[in-house]
Amino acid sequence: MSFAWTPHRFSGGALALDVANSVVLRFDPARRIDRFADPVAMDAFADAASRLCGETFERLAPTVPDRRPLLIALREATDRHFRAAVEGEASDHLLADLLETAAAALRGRSEPGFVALEAATAHSALRLTTETGDGRLKICPNCQWLFIDRSRNRSRNWCDMAVCGNRVKASRHYRRQKEAGS
């Protein structure tokens, strides 16, 4: 398996957003990839997030198999709620869905010294609901990931300048060259 949870995949700045961003190109049916569709990758996420996520936690434990559907439900409710918030379409209904799935995620059990991924994701999402009214929550125009812009003047356009920013610049350059050549 060549897939790896690289630092780029933790560009969201909050665990709940990194979990939501385990779906790449969410609204592009032809190219959409769900990294959590593979349980091995889903389990590996917990360990990688413990090291690479912008939020710090106690050690994260992978979601146990029978609670995986719950983590996916929480991921989807998180994405719907915060994406709508960025687009100025927040609703009490979406918030209620998020709160219900978060509550279910908090009812699991963890080993001492560990916090279950779904519980940590719920805590992260709940924190975000009180933090994101200031225009810092954004959607990457290239990959559609959600991220928090913590730059001083809120000037961050991309989830990751080195990946999405450069990709868009390169395709613009390529288009210009093509136009110049034709």
Helix (H) or strand (E) holding 138: strand 137-139
Q: Is residue 21 within the footprint of Zn ion (CB under 5 A)? A: no
Q: Is residue 42 within the footprint of Zn ion (CB under 5 A)? A: no
Please check whether residue 102 is in contact with residue 71, taking contact to mean a CB–CB distance below 8 angstroms. no
Could you give the CA distance from residue 88 to residue 109 in angstroms, rounded to a whole number?
36
Q: Is residue 164 within the footprint of Zn ion (CB under 5 A)? A: yes
CB of 5 or CB of 145, closer to Zn ion: 145
**Residues 83-102 interacting with Zn ion (rule: CB under 5 A):** none
Beta bridge partners of 139: 146
Which position among 20, 142, 146, 148 is part of the footprint of Zn ion (CB under 5 A)? 142
Task: Give least dist CB 149 to Zn ion, A.
Answer: 12
CB of 64 or CB of 163, closer to Zn ion: 163
Task: Give least dist CB 54 to Zn ion, A.
Answer: 15
Task: Give least dist CB 91 to Zn ion, A.
Answer: 26
Which position among 143, 146, 148, 149 is part of the footprint of Zn ion (CB under 5 A)? 143
Q: Is residue 140 within the footprint of Zn ion (CB under 5 A)? A: yes
Query: Which among 130, 132, 131 has a CA at the least distance from the CA of 87?
Result: 132
Query: Which among 42, 46, 44, 40 has a CA at the least distance from the CA of 58?
Result: 46
State the Cα angle at 17 between 23 and 32, rounded to 5°.
10
CB of 26 or CB of 81, closer to Zn ion: 26
Could you give the CA distance from residue 118 to residue 170 in angstroms, rounded to a whole number?
37
Where does this chain bind Zn ion (CB under 5 A)?
A: 140, 142-143, 145, 159, 164
